[in-house]
A and B are shown apart, each in its own frame.
With several copies, the nearest count.
Chain A
Amino acid sequence: MIAVTADPIDLAAVEALLHHPEAGGIVTFAGTVRNHNHGRQVVSLSYEAYAEMAQARMEALAREMHARWPLYRVVLIHRVGTLAIGDAAVFVGVSSAHRDVAFDACRHGIEVIKFDVPIWKKETFIGGEDWVEGCAVHG
């Protein structure tokens, strides 16, 4: 499952997708909205995506991950719209026969999403709102 979506991430459902009878290890990363950033009190975050390109880039990422590591399942989800503190904004999950593979692939997945998928985060903090400084360089 690869998705750029306004819907909340249903962790139980995505965990179920990751299960595979030959998989021995499932590693997941959930990026959640923090209540602070650079010393500012964050009230909420809103994410804007170039949705078609983000979806295409995440699908390409999943293919790259499958080509590079022996994975059974890859789940990549990024939310768009307004999120509250504690909400999961991004989810990366992989299953593999081997835990080292699963850790490496999951970590790679979130790194590429952070550096290379056209999604932007705007913080609403006490006293204003601002785009979060992002990553310009290819990761």
Chain B
Amino acid sequence: MLLEVRLFAMLREAGGAERIQVRLEPGASVAALRTAIAREFPALATHLGATRVAANLQFVSDAHILSAEQEIALIPPVSGG
């Protein structure tokens, strides 16, 4: 499956794009997404440790199973307020 992943703030700038596309096996987890991004997007790799993943506007754990219907985003450390 081909996932679109939204990028924000320092990740958007590091990646040079507002979205990236990542191909994963159907039924892949957030952990698999992290591994794929680290391999295919070296500019994002150093940020991933502190980055959370959101699916359909909610934070999800590494065990969460992804699908192409979900809106997926990388959430680097937030600094609102």
Contacts and interface: CB of A to CB of B under 8 A. Distances in A.
Which one of B10, B12, B51 has the highest number of Cβ atoms from chain A below 10 Å of its Cβ?
A: B10
A120 to B, nearest CB: 4
Contacts of B51: 136
29 contacts: A48-B8, A50-B8, A50-B54, A53-B54, A53-B58, A53-B75, A78-B81, A89-B81, A90-B80, A113-B81, A114-B80, A116-B59, A117-B78, A117-B80, A118-B75, A119-B80, A119-B81, A120-B8, A120-B80, A122-B9, A131-B10, A131-B79, A133-B77, A133-B79, A134-B76, A134-B77, A135-B77, A135-B79, A138-B59
Interface string A89-110: 1100000000000000000001
Interface of A: 31, 47-50, 52-54, 56-57, 78, 89-90, 110, 113-122, 131-136, 138
Please classify the interface of chain A as helix (H, G, I), strand (E, B), loop, or mixed, using the class held by over half of its residues: mixed
Contacts of A133: 77, 79
Interface of B: 6, 8-10, 12-13, 50-52, 54, 57-59, 73, 75-81
